[in-house]
Chain A
């Protein structure tokens, strides 16, 4: 049996991904040297490449693109406005106290956070000193070993994922944030450990800026 005869029936199996690893390597070496198999390959390839088109065409889930682009494009991403609008209705509007003063040319202020009704004892504030900001929370529920809190920075109608954190004794959490002077709001959601690329729920802590 010639080398070609040994591989003649491998063309279609190769195109369908049905050769095992050793066979695949051997066939690829043969293909480079065998015009007949190359012709057969060229002839059958369009049929194999058409197979993806044979499946029912489904719409991709709406969040998929946002998650993908969050990885691809480090710039702030656009998210639907709805979650924030809904969030506003579910938050207890606590007094938002502004304490603005000038310290060495850097704006310094404290903004009180609003928290979800589900956490009646929890509260907190965002301390801003120039380019430094710290979100200080207290009486936040412990989320166990699989869930974490995640901070989001709002830029216009875009939401940028920031760091995740866990709370300490007394449900306290001091979270240092990047420069928030051009940020329109700081929010917190509960996410799976590792964090999310888009918020999976309405914010449970909200600090409009």
Chain B
């Protein structure tokens, strides 16, 4: 084992987690807990619900640590994917009204994390960049993507909600992601 596990890359830390090393898991939390909580909060709109989501998701990650396969993506993406699924599962049990409100309204009580480390500064910068890419999309594409990804609505539900054909909704999802991809890849935003 390295002298200081904080010097290890996520994938190496994950190998230690897979050997049941709580310190390595704690390090993963330190690195990605903020992003996990932020995502859960964006989806649920409530602090208590977001905390529950993160706790359940990360515990499931700990218990299912051997399922991580680095050929299928980064540790961060894997963690956030599980947090996303948990949060959406919880959201789907709540009322449509609450879900739509939580998805589309700006939540006033939010406050930004203080920038403490270079990594956090970089993450904030990344967030601004991706948010910028999302905000440059035509409103109907952005709304469709947000309702699906942060609201957990299916394309048929979104079509009903927006009074649009299903094909139109799917098309907006494709066009929106395509435009985001180009902007992120090209460093336009």
Contacts and interface: CB of A to CB of B under 8 A. Distances in A.
B42 A56 contact: yes
In the A-B complex, list the 9 residue pairs whose CB atoms are closest, starting with the nearest: A73-B22, A12-B173, A60-B37, A18-B148, A55-B42, A16-B148, A47-B181, A12-B174, A47-B180
Nearest to B174: A12
A82 interface: no
Contact of A64 (B25, B33, B73, B177): B33
Nearest to A51: B149
A119 B129 CA distance: 56
A64 B37 contact: yes
Contacts, number: 158
A43 B134 CA distance: 17
A57 B38 contact: yes
| Chain B interface bracket (under 10, 10 to 19, 20 to 34, 35 or more) | 35 or more
B34 A57 contact: yes
Interface in B9-47: 22, 25-26, 29-30, 33-39, 41-42, 47
Interface in B123-170: 123-124, 126-127, 129-131, 133-134, 145, 148-150, 152-156, 158, 167, 169-170
B70 interface: no
Contacts of A60: 33-34, 36-37, 51, 54
A19 interface: yes
A56 B127 contact: yes
Q: Is the interface of A mostly helix, strand, loop or mixed?
A: helix
A10 B170 CA distance: 7
A20 B120 CA distance: 36
Contacts of A59: 34, 37, 113-114
Nearest to B115: A57
Q: Is the interface of B mostly helix, strand, loop or mixed?
A: helix
A3 interface: no
Nearest to B25: A72
Residue of A15, A19, A56 most packed against chain B (CB within 10 A): A56
A32 interface: no
Contacts of B101: none
B181 A13 contact: no
Contacts of B171: 9
A12 B158 contact: no
Given A13-B155, A54-B127, A54-B130, A72 B177 contact: no
A48 interface: yes
